[in-house]
Amino acid sequence: MSDNQLRVVWVYPDLLSTYGDQGNVLVVERRARQRGLDVARLDVRSDQPIPTSGDIYLIGGGEDRPQRLAAERLIRDGHLYQAVNNGAIVFAVCAGYQILGHEFVNDQGQRQPGLGLLDVTTVRGEGERCVGDVLADIDPRLGLPQLTGFENHQGVTHLGPTARPFARVQMGKGNGTGDGTEGAYNDTVFGTYMHGPVLARNPLIGDLLLKLALDVNALPPCDDRWYEALRNERIASAQQPA
């Protein structure tokens, strides 16, 4: 952690912030403060350099053209690579998830280089768009309960040998590959297609990011009643017959 202060960086809110993804940074910030942590939140626009001293970097989803612009600027900036090399934690959603991979298809129908921070490659799906509620079992190694979220994407994301599936879907399409995988992660970088915002529906994922950033195995308890009510409502709704 940086100078006894947790630094949470919201990357490019002017380009990547659809479906309420900014709620993810609000959840991380609040859950850190509930544990008595001193938090500095930095909202970094796409015309500003990415700081390299952050502890947790959050990236949201976006439309095709903003996604291309964000990828180009992040590659040109280069500071997110340095932050990860410094041990920072990255959590990205949808378009942000695709940007973390080796490449994706941009708004011009061309293969667009990504950051290569996750061993994944995204192509454009030929079938129906992946839209709707998702329920999935998170990788047991992460020790987290069932994942709930909302997906809306055309991308099909294939995992390479060094990427682990973040979850396996019980309902929904996930990565769109037909193998049941959803998202991907390595030791410090996480990607998912889940909106919702995903950390409001799954606050223990936010706690996982905090534990990794703080290098601790546990956090003091906090009031989870609101989050649990939201989780239970969304899971029950997803399980209702169509």
Of 102, 153, 158, 195, which residue is the catalytic one?
Answer: 195
Strand pairing class (189-192; 89-93): parallel
Reply yes or no on whether 195 is catalytic.
yes
Of 79, 94, 158, 222, which residue is the catalytic one?
Answer: 94
Q: How far apart are CA 173 and CA 191, in angstroms?
A: 15
Q: How far apart are CA 205 and CA 138, in angstroms?
A: 10
The beta-carbon contacts of 217-222 under 8 Å, at least 24 apart in sequence, are: 219/35, 220/35, 220/36, 222/31, 222/34, 222/35
Task: Answer whether 102's CB lies under 8 Å from 116's CB.
Answer: yes
Residue 142 carries which DSSP code?
G
Question: Is 35 marked within a binding site?
Answer: no
Task: Answer whether 122's CB lies under 8 Å from 155's CB.
Answer: yes
Q: Which positions make up the binding site for substrate?
A: 129
Question: Which residue numbers are catalytic?
Answer: 94, 195
Q: Which positions make up the binding site?
A: 129
